[in-house]
Amino acid sequence: MRIATWNINGLRARLDFVRHWLAARQPDLVGLQELKLTDEQFPHADFEAVGYHATVHGQKAWNGVAILSREAGTLTQRGLPGQEDFGSRLVTAQFGDLSFTTIYCPNGKHLAHDDYPRKLDWFDSLATFWSETRSTEEAAVLCGDLNLCPAELDSHHPPEKTGDRIFHTTAERARFERLLEWGLVDLFRHRHPEERMYSWWDYRGGSFHRNLGLRIDFLLATPTLLARVRDVVIDRDYRKKKDGLTASDHAPVYADLE
């Protein structure tokens, strides 16, 4: 089984590109972020035509998350409880004995912005919600765009210059650590402990070609799934144009489970 996460930066602009990737990689479960459309605007027929169901939590213009799946799942959660006014950023569905959640965490903008403390609060709500609804004994995935770099290896910025830089603060990293302390495992880092690989590159300034990126997109999983992991890939090739189609600023991340 192949599971994946991908911030697509606007589904209306990215539909053909996403379908190109689905055809090439044939994933079974995909968490999508930044749909930037409403539930009514979601192109279900275009995904059904290529063999995918979708479980959607959208909103007008911004945010929005969905789960694509070969088999229809059962929707179990739309939105992070208590944080609904920060946008549509979480959706969970059940696929057999596997619980699959995808999230689009708030960006925070910069440390002096009101969104920064709200971002930390959002993560606190996430950790509480997660620990109250999930068990470390079950098969569960939490994936998405977390908008933070857990360690120096996950950022092109030199560590001596990241102390007060958004995505790199001690407070943000503590939120990520709390998820790991609960029992979730960062599949890419588990599989590739020393590899400096990014999942996002700014559109501006030739960042991709200069490899000035950040690893901010994660597949987190419960320990019971670990033994089944065969490979974890950041699909950097799909950060490039395909057949003249513009890529998202994020690459897909996928894992193959036995």
Partner DNA sequence: ATGTCGGAATTATTCCGA
Active-site residue numbers? 104, 145
Residues 239-258 binding DNA (CB under 7 A) are 246
Instruction: Report in angstroms how near the CB of residue 8 gets to DNA at its nearest.
Output: 9
199, 251 in Cβ contact below 8 A? yes
Distance of CA 228 to the CA centre of its chain: 20
Sequence-distant (≥ 6) Cβ neighbours of residue 24 within 8 angstroms? none
Per-residue interface string for the shown chain with DNA, residues 129-168, x marking contact by CB under 7 A: ----------------------------------------
With binding defined as CB under 7 A, does residue 81 bind DNA?
no
Choose among 217, 250, 89: nearest CA to 146: 217
36, 64 in Cβ contact below 8 A? yes
Q: What is the DSSP string of 61-108?
A: SS--EEEEESS--EEEEES-TT-GGG-S-EEEEEETTEEEEEEE----
**Stretch touching DNA by CB under 7 A, among 59-67, 130-138, 162-170, 176-184:** 59-67
Per-residue interface string for the shown chain with DNA, residues 85-124, x marking contact by CB under 7 A: ---------------------xx-x-----x---------
Choose among 50, 118, 34: nearest CA to 84: 118
Identified binder of DNA from the candidate list 114, 163, 204, 227, rule CB under 7 A: 204
Instruction: Report in angstroms how near the CB of residue 99 gets to DNA at its nearest.
Output: 27
Residues 22-41 binding DNA (CB under 7 A) are 36-37
Q: How many residues appear in the chain?
A: 258
18, 245 in Cβ contact below 8 A? no
With binding defined as CB under 7 A, does residue 196 bind DNA?
no
**Stretch touching DNA by CB under 7 A, among 70-78, 130-138, 152-160, 198-206:** 198-206
Instruction: Name the residues that contact DNA, by CB under 7 A.
Output: 9-14, 36-37, 60-62, 106-107, 109, 115, 203-206, 246
